[in-house]
Chains A and B, each alone.
Chain A
Amino acid sequence: MILAIRLPGRTALKNGQQNKRLRHAVEGVSLWLSVMLMLFVHPLYAEASLSGSADVENAGILRFVDDAGRWQEPALVLDSEFDIRVSGLIADSRLSRSFRNTGDQWREGVFVFPLPDDASVYGLTMKVGERTIVGKVRPKPEARKIYETAKKEGRHAANVEQQRPNLFTARVANIPPGETVTVDLQFQQPVQYRAGEFELRLPTTLTPRYMPGTPVAGTSSQWEGGWSVPTTQVPDASAISPFTVLPGDVDANSHRARIQMKIDAGLPLARVFSPSHRLESRQDGQAVMVTPEGGDVLMNRDFVVRWRPLAGQEPTAAVFHQRWKDEDYLMTMLVPGTGPVRSVPRELVFVIDTSGSMAGESIRQAQAALERGLDTLKRDDRFNIIRFSSQAHAMFMQPVPATGTNLARARRYVAGLNADGGTEMASALSLAMEQSEPFEETAGARVRQLVFITDGAVGNEAALFRQIRTGLKNQRLFTVGIGSAPNMHFMREAARWGRGTYTAIQDPSDVRGPLDTLFSAMESPVLTNIDVQWPGQTGQAESFPRRPGDLFAGDPLIQVVRGSAPAGELKISALKADGSTWQKTLDLQQAAEGVGIGRQWAREKIDSLLDAGNLTGGEVDKALVTELAVAHGLMSPYTSFVAVDETPVRGQTDPLSTEQLPTLLPKGSTSGMLRYPQTATYGPLMTALGLTGLMFAAAIVLLQRREVA
């Protein structure tokens, strides 16, 4: 086009002056001018094509991409509402997720989201306009099939699956343009009670997880919409790696949660507070109503609420009873209190995660936590620091005495840590566990403990738990969760397998409290060899956890049992730190009526069945877990919820497009995700088309000439 404009000008000049040299010069100049003009024109039409979309492509921010890898405007707006009721030791929550379709096409929404790691999901309802469809528990493959069939037939459908104990996938099919489909999830979780303080944690997003192993080739057909591809060590990596975006990248109303909480603790409360959010709370009779200040909260960090009973009124024992389907269920809690603690010399190995997911606020919290840990060392203690990202590196070859010089060196080392690289936890664990001879944990001998400071952002938790179980021997493992959205499933289970305890830090100002509790608890377990005797005939009552682990200072002993009536006495005996026997009886007749205890029992039983499978290294009894989960209407690794409508709403000719909803990047962490840019031009295509066209034209011309001739 430009060349065409230039040509007449050039001919005019040529006619005016016959000088050949000048013609060449003018030609050269005009060619250059046209080049310059093109450089000038190019940005204009590039801009014109961009003006259609509201946002300009930005490196470092993920956008939705379609099959061709092109940018796509997200159409689904996500709205969440938590309604939590705490009564006694169990918190019951209803989580409403609305998927509003702002596009002009039918959509399927896929959303990977976290729930508390000890949550038992027991209900799903789907609401479309005025209609409410109640979901059912089905074995996982069956539920998925029902959902896919309904999706294909154009019916409303919703399906929620468990990927990890704290990670779920919701699928909602056939959301009409401009309309909203709401999925209500009901779940319950036990309230944490430690050192006289209750805590409830609701995760709202997840820290992008590291997937160790090498990518498995040829798996793109099984792609489920994550940023990661399946690897040799994490075969389901794509299902647990939702895209992470900044709050500014989603609709202004999307990814906000309304939270309403009612705490009916059954005893007067001194204080309700949150280390993560500012709260508004008001007394309502016995109960306390709690909402975050300022209404909706961004779903970019865990919502943590703690409450403390009035001093002197802290519970020391509690019994709850529920009769469900002609069976008696009891839940008991017993706080042994702080016994005499024997101070024995320790060997502490701090393992600190310096992987990329820790970048930002997290690494500073981890450094603060580690420094706090160094403070607790006594002169007889020995210590070492191991940092890991893609590789593990120990500061000292061997654990060293906690002398002033060594501590000063350690502090400098800690201050200089920065976060990048992968999260190869396995190598760090084996380095930490094998660095020293196994110790006998007897009175007088040195006790060896590992403190693991991490955000737990890995995809291969199960393998790590196995490694901890087999490699730890007489050492104990304690975990400290870091960041706005730590993987609490990892913290809890790693500590459980490591016969230790765990804690999590919310923000830099919160480092001291939880850590001091942990470090003082670490001095020594209060009770070991705990034995629980239920009244009645032996073997009749089935209680969980089957073999209670060692209790640390401030930890309660919680048991859930089926088949024991609220009568008689519960006998508990254990070994105290100084070697003497500790005994306690609990009168079960005082049991208060509770709810959800049957479900809690079923959940504990499922967990113990899963453990048994992992322990023997063999297969989990899938049939038994499925049966139990279906009977109690629970979500499990092998059962999921599905709700389908009966009548089709989407015509078979209307297309349905699937949209993966992203999660928000946890607050304070640094975004590291970069989308591959578009790196091809239409040049070759246009050249090829042009050449073909020209050849075609030439062929016609030749043919015509031949005809004329």
Chain B
Amino acid sequence: MSRLLLLLFTTSATLLVFGLWIPIKAVVAQELLELAWAESQARQLETRPWPWADTWPVARLTMPGLGDSMIVLAGGHGESLAFGPGQVLGNESGQGPLVIAGHRDTHFRKLRYLEPGSELRLQDQDSGWHEYRVLRTRIVDSRIEQIDTLRLSDDTLLLVTCYPFDSVDAGGPLRYVVEARAGGPAVLEQKVQTETVVGT
């Protein structure tokens, strides 16, 4: 009996550790990414946060309304999403629409609090800040819908995460999509930059 109990205890404990490990890793990795981001900005190069990483920071995303800031990684595969939101679409020149995906239980947990009109800011590798305003939020079924990137306008930013937020099913088909458009006075850019330098 006690052996069974021990087995149950260790299995549960292991599960718990692994379960908690994911958010911990997400937080810890962001710290390492901050360094890599600073370096890639300074050297204007793709800097890998750790030597064997198959992704690198491409932007910083902040949600001023929610007081949240994070480093966005290249690519939307599971490997990069574990450490930070991944840029699924967008080229280096910064032109064209951007699609960023993140895990609903780590970095993009707060996405649900974004409302039409909420402010988003994105810093690219050249340290330039771009301001976006949330246009609308939408729930889509990934089985029946794809992102038609050619029909997104150039100034679109899409944030994608899984839905519903409190679900424990990791393989669900629903996605929560926040659509934002570039906007806001250009004067703000300078101000924002100084703010965040202080912040980091």
Contacts and interface: CB of A to CB of B under 8 A. Distances in A.
Nearest to A689: B15
B147 A674 contact: yes
B interface majority secondary structure: mixed
Contact of B153 (A62, A228, A390, A690): A390
B116 interface: no
Contacts of A674: 88-89, 99, 146-149
Contact of B88 (A43, A357, A359, A677): A677
Given A59-B88, A672-B148, A694 B162 contact: no
Contacts of A421: 150-151, 153
B150 A62 contact: no
A356 B145 contact: no
Contact of B14 (A40, A65, A225, A690): A690
A35 interface: yes
Interface in A657-695: 670, 672-694
Contact of B105 (A68, A357, A419, A680): A680
Contact of B151 (A42, A420, A683): A420
A69 interface: yes
B52 A65 contact: no
B86 A684 contact: no
Interface in B125-165: 140-154, 160-162
A223 B144 contact: yes
A673 B149 contact: yes
B25 A38 contact: yes
A682 B15 CA distance: 10
Given A39-B29, A679-B103, A693 B12 contact: yes
Contacts of B153: 390, 420-421
Interface residues of A, number: 69
A229 interface: yes
A687 B150 contact: no
Given A674-B147, A676-B145, A683-B22, A43 B79 contact: yes
Interface stretch (A104-112, A132-140, A392-400, A696-704): A696-704
Nearest to B150: A356
Interface string A172-210: 000000000000000000000000000000000000101
Interface stretch (B56-64, B169-177, B187-195): B169-177
Given A39-B25, A357-B150, A681 B105 contact: yes
Contacts, number: 213
B161 A691 contact: no
Interface string A153-179: 000000000000000000000000000
Contact of B50 (A39, A208, A229, A422): A39
Nearest to B174: A69
A693 B8 contact: yes
**B interface, how many residues as a size bin?**
35 or more
Given A680-B103, A681-B105, A229 B15 contact: no
Contacts of A68: 171-173
B5 A697 contact: yes
Interface string B58-97: 0000000000000000011111011000101100000000
Interface in B97-116: 99, 101-106, 108
B93 to A, nearest CB: 14
A679 B82 contact: no
Interface in B1-44: 1, 5, 8-9, 11-23, 25, 28-29
Contacts of B13: 690, 693-694
- In order of increasing CB-CB distance, the 4 nearest A-B pairs are A693-B12, A356-B150, A690-B16, A686-B19
Given A680-B161, A690-B14, 9 more contacts: A38-B21, A59-B77, A65-B142, A223-B143, A359-B150, A676-B145, A679-B162, A684-B168, A689-B15
